[in-house]
Structure 1
Amino acid sequence: MSRFQPAAQAHPEQPIPKHLWKVAALSGMASYLDAALIVSIAVNLAIYRDSYDMGVWMAGAISAIVTGCIAVGSLVGGRLADLFGRRRVYNLDILCYAVGAIVITLAPNDIVLFVGVLVAGLAAGADLPTSLAVVSDAAPPEGRARLVSFTQVMWVLGIVVVIFLGYLLSDTGLTGARFITGHLVVAALVTWQLRARLELPDEPAEEEVAQEAVPRGIELKNICNRAALLPMVATFVYYVTWGIGANTFGQFGTYLLVTVSGASQSLATGINLAFLPIALVLTFVFVRLADTPWRDRLFYVFTVVQVLAFCIASLTAGALAGMLVFFVLYQISNPFAGEASYKVWSQLTLPPDTRGTTQGLTYALSRGVFAGVAFVTPALMDYSASVLLWSITICMAASGVAGVYVIHVLIRRSPDTATAAASLGVART
Structure 2
Amino acid sequence: MAGTRPIPPPLWKAAALSGMASYLDAGLIVSISVNLAIYRDSYDMGVWMAGAISAIVTGCIAVGSLVGGRLADLFGRRRVYNWDIFCFAIGALVITLAPDDVTLLIGVLIAGLAAGADLPTSLAVVSDAAPPWARGRLVAFTQVMWMLGIAVAIFLGFVLSTTGMTGARLITGQLAVAALVTWALRSRLKLSDEPPEADTEAAPEAISLKGVWTRAALLPMAATFVFYVTWGLGANTFGQFGTYLLVTVSDASQSLATGINLAFIPIGVLLTFAFVRVADSPWRDRLFHVAAVVQILAFVIASLTAGALAGMLVFFVLYQLSNPFAGEANYKVWSQLTLPADTRGTTQGLTYALSRGVFAVAAFFTPALADHSPSVLLWTITACMTAAAFAGVFIIRVLVPRSASAVRDGADPRVPSTWPAGLSDKEH
TM-score by length of 1: 0.91
Look up the match of 1:336.
325
> How far did 1:53 drift?
4.7
Partner-residue secondary structure (3-state), 1:419: coil
Q: 2:243 aligns with which of 237, 240, 254?
A: 254
CA 1:392–1:183: 2 relative to 1, 3 Å: same
- 1:199–1:425: 8 Å Cα contact kept in structure 2? no
- Deviation digits for residues 381-422 of structure 1 (CA, Å, limit 9, x no counterpart): 233222222211111111110000001100011261422489
Equivalent residue for 2:161? 170
1: CA distance between counterparts of 2:147 and 2:283?
Answer: 21
Give the structure 1 partner of residue 421 of structure 2: 424
Question: Residues 103-128 of structure 1, C-alpha deviation per residue, up to 9 Å, x if partnerless?
Answer: 12222222222111111110000000
SS in 1 for 2:191: coil
Give unpaired runs (5+ residues) of structure 1.
Answer: 1-8, 207-215
Which residue is equivalent to 1:397? 386
For residue 147 of structure 1, the aligned residue among 134, 138, 141 is 138
The amino acid of 2:342's aligned partner reads D
Change (3 A) 1:375 1:48: closer
Structure 1 residue 425, shift from structure 2 partner: 4.6
Q: How does 1:31-50 map to 2 (within 5 A)?
A: 31-50=22-41
Question: What secondary structure does 2:325 align onto?
Answer: coil
User: 8 Å contact 1:276–1:331 — kept in the other structure?
Assistant: yes
5+ unaligned residues in a row in structure 2: which ranges? 199-204
Partner residue, 1:272: 261
Could you give the per-residue CA deviations for residues 282-318 of structure 1, whole angstroms, max 9, x where no partner exists?
A: 0000001111111001001110111111112222222
Contact 1:140/1:423, CA 8 A, preserved across alignment: no
* Whole-Å separation in 2 of the counterparts to 1:132 and 1:176: 32
Q: Secondary structure at the match of 1:231?
A: helix
Compute the displacement of 1:77 (Å).
0.0
2:83 corresponds to: 92
Query: How is 1:134-283 mapped onto 2 (pairs within 5 angstroms)?
Result: 134-201=125-192, 217-283=206-272
Instruction: Give the aligned residue type for 1:419.
Output: A
Alpha-carbon distance in structure 2 between the residues aligned to 1:407 and 1:34: 27
Distance 1:373 1:53, change over 3 A: closer
CA deviation profile, 1:240-280 (whole Å, cap 9, x unmatched): 11111111122222333333333333322221111111101
Deviation (angstroms), 1:58: 5.1
What is the one-letter code of the residue matched to 2:139? V
Confirm or deny: 8 A CA contact 2:62 2:353 kept in the other structure: yes
| 1:51-84 per-position Cα deviation (integer Å, ceiling 9, x unaligned) | 3455666544433211110000000000000010
- Runs of 4+ more than 6 Å apart: none
Output aligned runs, 1:341-420, within 5 Å. Answer: 341-414=330-403, 416-417=406-407, 418-420=410-412
Where does residue 117 of structure 2 map in the other structure?
126
Amino acid at match of 1:397: T
Task: Kindly report the root-mean-square deviation, in angstroms, between the aligned alpha carbons of the 2 structures.
Answer: 2.2
Contact 1:25/1:151 (8 A) holds in 2: yes
| Distance across 1 between alignment mates of 2:237 and 2:375 | 14
Change (3 A) 1:42 1:395: same
Say if 1:416 and 1:313 are closer, same or farther in 2 by CA, change over 3 A.
Answer: same
Q: Per the alignment, in what secondary structure is the counterpart of residue 416 of structure 1? A: helix
Write the distance in 2 (CA, Å) between the matches of 1:259 and 1:48: 16
Q: Secondary structure at the match of 2:189?
A: coil
How far has the Cα of 1:176 moved from its partner? Answer: 2.0
Sequence identity of aligned pairs in percent?
76
- Is 1:104 matched with 2:95? yes
Q: Provide the rounded CA distance (Å) in 1 between the counterparts of 2:282 and 2:106.
A: 46
